[in-house]
Chains A and B, each alone.
Chain A
Amino acid sequence: MRHIISILVENEAGALSRISNMFSARGYNIESLTVAPTEDASMSRMTVVTVGSDEVIEKITKQLNKLVEVVKVVDLSEAEHIERELMLIKVRAGAKEREDVKRMADIFRGRVIDVSDNTYTIELTGDGAKLDAFIQALDQSAILETVRTGSSGIGRGNRILRA
């Protein structure tokens, strides 16, 4: 099953590789990983999307907790949560295609953030499935470049992860 795990970690050089090392050394898979500092600059928040049975996920959270720099770990998928991912996608948009591409972007509530004679760059946020759907909806041969951040997640309501 797919799980989304949130990790609070000391913002120290090497912390990221310690975490990614642990996944590869023990053969756990990472579908995506995002990391950036929090409002407290001494700490980073990481979101890892992984796939595994409940047993494997339990092992992953235990191994994460064991890392000296990891402050807290929570499996967001255990309860109500929200997930968002940002995608920047550059598509061919000459005179012929412009209107179609723009319309499609509007339907998905995407924004055109850069324009050239023959390209549009569109910004789109949502959960992974929505981004997938947008890619599917486009003319595949028109896609020039895609950049996705991977999922970030947060618990709903009073579900709060802090140090």
Chain B
Amino acid sequence: MDRIKTEELTGAQILIRCLQAEGVEVVFGYPGGAVLWIYDELFKQDKIRHVLVRHEQGAAHAADGYSRSSNKIGVCLVTSGPGLTNAVTGIATAYMDSIPMIVISGQVPTHAIGEDAFQECDSVGITRPCVKHNFLVRDVKDLAVTMKKAFHIATTGRPGPVLVDIPKDVTTHTCEFQYPETISMRSYNPVKKGHAGQIKKAVQLLLEAKRPMVYTGGGVVLSNASAQLKDLIKRTGFPITNTLMGLGAYPGTDDQFLGMLGMHGTFEANMAMQHCDVLLAIGARFDDRVIGNPAHFASDPRKIIHIDIDPSSISKRVKVDVPIVGNIPDVLSDFLGLLEKSKTQDIKVWWKQIDEWRGKDCLKYDRKSKIIKPQFVLEKLYEVTGGGAFITSDVGQHQMWAAQFYKFEQPRRWINSGGLGTMGFGLPAAMGAQMANPGATVACVTGESSIQMCLQELSTCKQYRLPIKIINLNNKYMGMVRQWQQFFHGNRYSESYMDALPDFVKLAEGYGHSGLLIDKPADVEPALRETFKRKKDLVFLDFLTDQTENVYPMIAGGKGLTEMILSEDL
């Protein structure tokens, strides 16, 4: 009798087959000794495209940006030791924002582990606190199942990065390859459906609410629940705010949208959060940048409904009345079903109050300024791109202005490091977004300090012809640091001035791109219009902006939501 021939493959071959089986089209990586066999196999195939970054941090951010901007999963591949440690910032960034991502790291051969071998580090140990899960594959026979588990864990429940560490000898050892079609793990079974009784209770609260408020976060984006959210808001007529991570989940131009909330949120969103009688929180986690001081938040009575896939996010910083653990789109569909036959309260008075708060026009700035105002650049960026671009951002004032002034109409268009606040994220994340969305408009809003943290990726952009538009809001300061020093440290601008700045135009040109310096308000719009016409080129726009501008409103650390500093107060 003939035996069925199964294929005997090397670990490196198996890895590539697993990635192909998962539909991976792009891998962001950087080679080195421990991953040479994997690179050899990448070379021999043409299904998976490899994007060679210039620093492993860039690989991780790019994979992350790829995930955030699409429904696909970003993969990055790094070598052992320094390759992995360089990627850690990117892994932690993805972890803090619950971004699904696969990190494959090479490791020294199994027999050398623990002997301080060349380029050895305890990758599993180093990354343990900043991954959803990680694996060290000691036997080639475990590789395929481990990869299956990695993808399963990264993309289900509350998503997150998963690292698979593969010793070099495992990539050369052989075994029969079979990729499991499904996987079940007794220790890992994320909840899907929300509890029917709790959902009923929640809907009852919504029906009784006189001053309702809806507050949604990154979870709505991650779970692709925008359609259901929109239905719910339209059906109820309730006001809604998004967190920094949740922008785009609800159309930014809609009348019921109060803007972003939190430390630099709008006056109306923060006031409505504090004074509502029923708060519906969806895929958000009441973090310190959002509600400020939890004791101050709790000082006004309100009923809180909290929907999240992760039970540990519920009642963590704020006690909630109706917790609902479940997949957001499913839970919201249940809500909509129950709401169908019932009537919500008349909330005209509440809207009148909100409109009064809106009247403060808390985002106003000097439009007659002779120096370019950063807010003005972002308003024009929004106009010129029609609200439909993928906007990545770095960290600082420019990030907050982008969040305030760019009105995102769709989810997954606003890509920023909210949780970890990683400077250097913007450019490589834009590469990931552009790879995931070829042909789409991608812009990176950055500052002169942030951009220098992953600047080397301009070279990657050249190699792969990524036509990203870089919007550098150059205030010659670590503006956000300077702002805190102005407010809270008696104007002592300790080390927040970026001296000896490079000529960004020449720098862009040095990497083979174009650059343009803009220093007059009148030139802002024309420069943007010209730039976004250039569909094939990366253009670096260096806007010299007002060095003294601050982000308003602002809630100082430890203060309550209503204790905002407004521009008019100063």
> Which residues from chain A sit less than 8 Å from chain B, CB to CB?
9-10, 13-14, 17-18, 21, 25, 55, 58-59, 62-63, 65-66, 68-71, 163
Contacts and interface: CB of A to CB of B under 8 A. Distances in A.
Interface of B: 124-125, 128-129, 132-134, 136, 153, 158, 185-188, 310-312, 315-316
Nearest to B189: A71
Contacts of B134: 14
Nearest to B325: A62
Given A14-B124, A25-B129, A69 B187 contact: yes
Nearest to B162: A68
5 contacts: A10-B187, A14-B124, A59-B312, A62-B312, A68-B185
A17 B129 CA distance: 10
A21 B134 CA distance: 14
Nearest to B311: A62
Q: Which secondary structure dominates where chain A touches chain B? A: helix
B187 A9 contact: yes
Nearest to A68: B133
Given A17-B125, A18-B128, A25-B129, A70 B187 contact: yes
A21 B129 contact: yes
Contact of A63 (B124, B188, B312): B312
Nearest to A9: B187
A122 B153 CA distance: 48
A122 B119 CA distance: 48
A62 B57 CA distance: 31
B84 to A, nearest CB: 16
B128 A66 contact: no
Contact of A59 (B124, B129, B316): B316
A65 to B, nearest CB: 7
Given A58-B315, A63-B312, A71-B186, A13 B128 contact: no
Given A9-B187, A10-B187, A163-B186, A66 B124 contact: no
Nearest to B312: A62
Contacts of B188: 68
B311 A65 contact: yes
A17 B187 contact: no
A163 B188 CA distance: 12
A65 B188 CA distance: 9
A59 B125 CA distance: 24
A68 B128 contact: no
Contacts of B310: 66
Contacts of B315: 55, 58
Contacts of B158: 66
B153 A68 contact: yes
A163 B312 CA distance: 21
Contacts of A69: 133, 187
B128 A21 contact: yes
B183 to A, nearest CB: 12
Contacts of A18: 128
- Indicate the member of A9, A63, A68, A71 with the most B CB atoms within 10 Å: A68
Contact of B312 (A13, A66, A68): A66
A60 B301 CA distance: 27
A130 B186 CA distance: 38
Nearest to A15: B187
Contacts of A65: 311-312
Contact of A68 (B129, B132, B316): B132
A154 B188 CA distance: 24
Across chains A and B, which 5 residue pairs bring their CB atoms closest together, nearest first? Answer: A62-B312, A68-B133, A71-B187, A68-B188, A62-B311
